[in-house]
Each structure stands twice: as C-alpha cells, then as structure tokens.
C-alpha cells in the first residue's frame, strides 16, 4: 500500500477480485454514551460495524478508513483510548487503517468508518439469494448486546460475564467459510436485530420466513442463571452475528463459532414466529433503536 498521508490511499486488490465497500456512522448519544461506554470499546465497535458488513458478504477486509470529528471539550485521553481500541482490533483482523479524515466537530464525537474488502468476482453473498424451502441459520447467541444495554439503563454495573456482549466479534472467518463452500445462499449481519434483518433478506429474496421461537439461541443474561427475554433476541440489535439461508447441510460449528438452525424460508411472503406449542403469530420487524426510551 502506498499513498498514506497523500490525497488518497492507494491499494491493490487481487486480480479477479471484486471490491466491497461499506461505511458506518458511530455517533455519540445515538450509538454510544460516553458515561456508559469506555473509549476503547467504542473504538472497537466502530470498526466491528464495518468488518461485520464485509463478513456478511463473505469477503476479505483489506483496509479501513476512519473519519473522526471531535469537539474541543473532548479530552485527548478519550480520543487516544478510542484509537487504541480501534487499532488493536484492526491488528487482530489484519486490516490496516489506511487513511481517513479528522475534523473538529460542533459538539460531541462522530466517527464514520469505511471498510474496503474484496471477494473473487461473482461470489459475494448477497441478501437476495435465498430461495423458498431453505433453512435459516444464525451464528452465536442473540440479544446479549441489548440485554447489556438494558442493564446499563437500569443503572446496574456489568460484571465480566457481560464482556462478550459488549465486545461483539465480526464473523469474518465464518462468512468466508460459508462463501468459499457456496453454503450460504443469502446472508446479512445482525446489526438491527433478527426480526429487522431477516425482513431485509425476505424482501430482497422475495421469500417468506418461519422462525421457531424455541430454536433461537438466546444469550445468557448475566451469570448464566437464565437466558435473555425472547423479545431481546428477536429485536435487539448490535450482536453482529450472521444470519444466513442455506439449501445445503451446515455443520453445528463453523470456524469455531456455533451455528444454529432457527427456521426456514417459505414461498408465502411475510414472517411468522412458531411458538413452543406450535402456535403461529406474525413476526414484524422490531426496528432496533440504540437508546429507545433510555435517552
């Protein structure tokens, strides 16, 4: 790579590859609160949002670009912590921070992350590839991030047992595995919540979906006594797990991450939730907002 500190970064993409590009805002008071979220955590999540979008295409992340605006009352220590968190994660995923922009903000902190990746031409896993009669899968466990946020809103301290929900991991290796083997017909990352992101796949693929409520892998709340409420697993955002459809057989673990079948796609449009006793109700997109009712 050349051109760092130049007008543009100059990058090479392997021959025969297509380019993937995604950008995501992380805004103080909208996506995080400085009194709840430490700077390193905010930095990690900022990059995770972009990496997770690359993962959802089955892509290789190649470089990240950070635009960061900070008002002059934000301590330099906060900015240092944010960058440390972001750069540590960038190193873990071997994604160089190749450029970006810095600016003064009028108030608070705004960060926009752009991540550039690539896939062999024609192999990107889109949202639009699902067919009726396929199985629906998710990675990991759902609702943990939303449950952690609920606890913070209630003023509870979060013990170490919450750490993995506060530090979601972009499922890059899982996405690549599924793409390389042609296993996933459609894929999306769970940033807005299962119900909302599943609706995106249904709409883009023109299929319906039936989800088995009991099959959803709900996150463990706190010290493992119980699982989070079904509503959080359905509508809670920011888990950054992958949701995908497949007509092939899928192992229970991919790249070390648990994969769970939660339902199937249907010819009949719309989304339905099948309860424990076989009762079916309509499932609507929950529309995750980060601090709904909390701000």
Binding site for a second copy (CB under 8 A): 2-3, 5-13, 15, 18-25, 27-31, 52-54, 56-57, 59, 63, 65-67, 69, 98-101, 103-108, 110, 112, 114, 116-117, 119, 121, 124, 126-128, 187-189, 204
Shortest Å, Cβ 270 to a second copy: 20
Shortest Å, Cβ 235 to a second copy: 18
CA pair distance 12, 60, nearest whole angstrom? 13
> What would the DSSP string read from start to end of 106-144?
SSSEEEEEEEEEEEETT----TT---TT-EEEEES-BSH
Biggest CA–CA distance in the chain, Å, is 62
Shortest Å, Cβ 70 to a second copy: 11
Q: Are 96 and 215 in contact (CB under 8 A)?
A: no
Quick one: 7 or 277, whose CB is closer to a second copy?
A: 7
Quick one: 90 or 213, whose CB is closer to a second copy?
A: 90
Q: Are 188 and 197 in contact (CB under 8 A)?
A: yes
Buried b (16+ CB within 10 A) or exposed e, 31-45: bbbeebbebbbbbbb
Counting beta carbons within 10 angstroms of the beta carbon of residue 214, is it exposed (0 to 12), middle (13 to 18) or buried (19 or more)? exposed
Shortest Å, Cβ 225 to a second copy: 35
Helix (H, G, I), strand (E, B) or coil at 79: helix
Shortest Å, Cβ 28 to a second copy: 6
Quick one: 168 or 273, whose CB is closer to a second copy?
A: 168
Q: What is the number of other CB atoms lying within 10 angstroms of the CB of residue 107?
A: 11
Quick one: 103 or 269, whose CB is closer to a second copy?
A: 103
Shortest Å, Cβ 182 to a second copy: 17
Shortest Å, Cβ 21 to a second copy: 5
Quick one: 205 or 265, whose CB is closer to a second copy?
A: 205
Name the nearest CA neighbour of 167 among 240, 246, 94, 235.
240
Torsion angle of C-alpha atoms 179, 138, 50, 70, degrees rounded to 10 = -170
Quick one: 47 or 273, whose CB is closer to a second copy?
A: 47
Quick one: 111 or 147, whose CB is closer to a second copy?
A: 111
CA pair distance 140, 217, nearest whole angstrom? 7
């Amino acid at each position: 790579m050349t051109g760092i500190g130049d007008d543009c970064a100059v990058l090479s993409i392997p021959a025969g590859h297509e380019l993937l590009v995604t950008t995501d805002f992380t805004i103080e008071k909208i996506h995080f609160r400085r009194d709840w979220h430490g700077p390193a955590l905010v930095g990690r999540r900022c990059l995770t949002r972009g990496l997770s979008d690359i993962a959802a295409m089955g892509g290789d992340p190649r470089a990240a670009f950070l635009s960061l605006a900070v008002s002059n009352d934000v301590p330099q220590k906060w900015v240092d912590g944010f960058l440390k968190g972001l750069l540590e994660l960038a190193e873990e995923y071997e994604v160089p921070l190749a450029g970006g922009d810095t600016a003064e903000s009028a108030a608070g902190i705004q960060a926009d992350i752009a991540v550039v990746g690539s896939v062999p031409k024609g192999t990107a896993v889109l949202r639009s590839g699902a067919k009726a009669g396929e199985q629906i899968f998710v990675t990991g466990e759902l609702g943990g991030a939303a449950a952690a946020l609920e606890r913070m809103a209630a003023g509870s301290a979060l013990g170490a047992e919450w750490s993995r929900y506060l530090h979601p991991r972009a499922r890059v290796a899982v996405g690549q595995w599924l793409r390389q083997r042609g296993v996933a017909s459609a894929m999306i990352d769970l940033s807005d919540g299962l119900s909302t992101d599943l609706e995106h796949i249904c709409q883009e693929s023109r299929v319906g979906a039936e989800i088995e409520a009991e099959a959803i892998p709900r996150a463990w709340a706190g010290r493992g006594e119980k699982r989070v409420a079904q509503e959080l697993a359905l509508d809670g955002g920011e888990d950054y797990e992958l949701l995908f459809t497949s007509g092939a057989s899928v192992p229970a673990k991919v790249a070390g991450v648990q994969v769970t079948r939660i339902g199937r796609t249907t010819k009949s449009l719309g989304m339905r939730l099948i309860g424990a006793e076989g009762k079916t109700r309509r499932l609507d997109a929950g529309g995750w907002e980060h601090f709904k009712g909390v701000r």
